[in-house]
Amino acid sequence: MAQRIAGICFVKVDGAQFAISGDIEIPLTEFKREAVMGLAGPAGYKETALEPYVKINALFTPDFPVNSLRTNTTLTVTAELANGIVYTLSNAFVRGEPKVKPVEGTIEVEFSGSQGQWSNNQ
């Protein structure tokens, strides 16, 4: 039996669903691991914390929550992927400078938060 592993995704910010127009980017892990080398070769590894985030390309619809995103720093962002896996980003805020592209009717937004958690919705 075939399984859906890609395609339709849903992103909500504080319960408001966004119309996604492009890809979504989410980090898989909380840490970056690197080898610690000794003179005889790898001796182990070190971990460095990574920033939890969600990066999206969405349609810039007339009801897009511009003011909420500009001012709120405790957003909850959920991304439900086509394979049924969900990523929840807590205490999120808009990172950097969102890019509105009026000719295409899209917006690129990056959310950063205090914690990202993966769960299986199936």
pLDDT in tens, 82-110: 999 999 999 999 999 999 999 999 999 99
Domain annotation for the chain: domains and CATH numbers: 10-120 (2.40.30)
Tokens of 45: 């590894």
Summarised one tens digit per residue, pLDDT across range 27-48 is 999 999 999 999 999 999 999 9
CA angle 20, 11, 8 (to 5 degrees): 60
- Supply the pLDDT for residue 40: 95
pTM greater than the 0.95 cutoff: no
Q: Would you say 6 and 23 are in contact if contact means Cβ atoms under 8 Å apart?
A: no
